[in-house]
Amino acid sequence: MYRPKDVAEKLRIAPSTLRIWSQHFANQLSNAARKAPSDGAGPAAQRRYTDADIRTLSQAKAMLTQGLTYDEVKRQMRDDIEQQATSTPAVANQAAPPPAVLSEEAQSSLIAMKEALSAKDKTVGALKESLAFMDAYLQAIREERGGQREDPPVGEGDGQAPRSEPRSDGEAVQALVENPTGTAVSTRPQQGRWLAALR
């Protein structure tokens, strides 16, 4: 808040001119700037001006300098205030962006992505089932191998020493498909089941 002396200095006008303007443009100024002078019963009321009051008085000064009368200046200020009041909602409406609308191409892309994700989920599910089948099959092989006390000789006649325990699951599978006499049994039925499970 500014004292009358400070405002008069800012506007480069005499304090008496400021008093006259404050009376003429009282409706455009804040309550603090248009305090009425004391009626003699108490101390005189001190006017205080806001930044908005100084801007209003500066506009009034510019219009008065152009030759407008007090009434013309007040009318112009009222028109300016009304114009600002009516244009503010329009500006607010323009500031709000319209809701985003996806193009048909973007919508098609989103649908395709959803379908691809769904297909991926089905593939992952099928692979999990296949892995579960393979785990169960290998567990059955291990249990069956654990029940045998001794393996049949492997590699007999090819210069390799016979082994009593296979070293890996692959060797366990190979040993399992051999019968007790050491003759190989076709693994095609088992391979067919594995392939069917993996599809």
Identify whether residues 16 and 89 lie together within a single domain: yes
Q: Phi and psi (nearest 5°) for 184? A: -70, 145
CA distance 78 to 56: 11
Q: Is residue 104 part of a domain?
A: no
In degrees, rounded to 5, the angle at the alpha carbon of residue 84 between the alpha carbons of residues 82 and 87 is 110
Query: Mean pLDDT across the stretch 15-26?
Result: 89
Identify whether residues 87 and 169 lie together within a single domain: no
Q: How confident is the model at residue 34 (pLDDT cuts 50, 70, 90)?
A: confident
Amino acid occupying residue 33 = A
Residue 198 has pLDDT above 50, yes or no: yes
CA distance 59 to 84: 15
Structure confidence at residue 183 (pLDDT): 47
Identify whether residues 9 and 88 lie together within a single domain: yes
Q: How confident is the model at residue 13 (pLDDT cuts 50, 70, 90)?
A: very high
CA distance 151 to 173: 12
User: What's the CATH number where 8 sits?
Assistant: 1.10.1660
Identify whether residues 86 and 129 lie together within a single domain: no
Q: Phi and psi (nearest 5°) for 178? A: -95, 145
| Structural domain for 22, as ranges | 4-94
Compare 89 and 126 and report the one with higher pLDDT: 126
Compare 173 and 8 and report the one with higher pLDDT: 8
| Token reading at 28 | 């455009």
Domain boundary among 94, 111, 143: 94
Computed over every residue of the chain, the mean pLDDT equals 74
Identify whether residues 85 and 140 lie together within a single domain: no
Domain boundary among 56, 79, 94: 94
User: For the segment 104-139, what is each residue's pLDDT rounded down to a tens digit?
Assistant: 777 778 888 888 888 888 898 889 888 888 988 898
Identify whether residues 33 and 89 lie together within a single domain: yes
Structure confidence at residue 186 (pLDDT): 47
Quote the number of domains for the chain: 2
Identify whether residues 68 and 139 lie together within a single domain: no
Structure confidence at residue 49 (pLDDT): 92
Compare 155 and 129 and report the one with higher pLDDT: 129
Contacts 24+ apart (CB under 8 A), 27-30: 27/74, 28/56, 28/60, 28/74, 28/77, 28/81, 29/53, 29/56, 29/57
Structure confidence at residue 180 (pLDDT): 45
Q: Is residue 35 part of a domain?
A: yes
Least confident of 4-13, 93-102, 110-119: 93-102
Residue 184 has pLDDT above 60, yes or no: no
Structure confidence at residue 14 (pLDDT): 92
Q: Percent helix, strand, coil in the chain (nearest 5)?
A: 65, 0, 35
Residue 46 has pLDDT above 70, yes or no: yes
Identify whether residues 59 and 137 lie together within a single domain: no
Q: Is residue 99 part of a domain?
A: no
CA distance 60 to 70: 8
Are 25 and 74 within 8 A, CB to CB? yes
Structure confidence at residue 16 (pLDDT): 92
Q: Is residue 115 part of a domain?
A: no
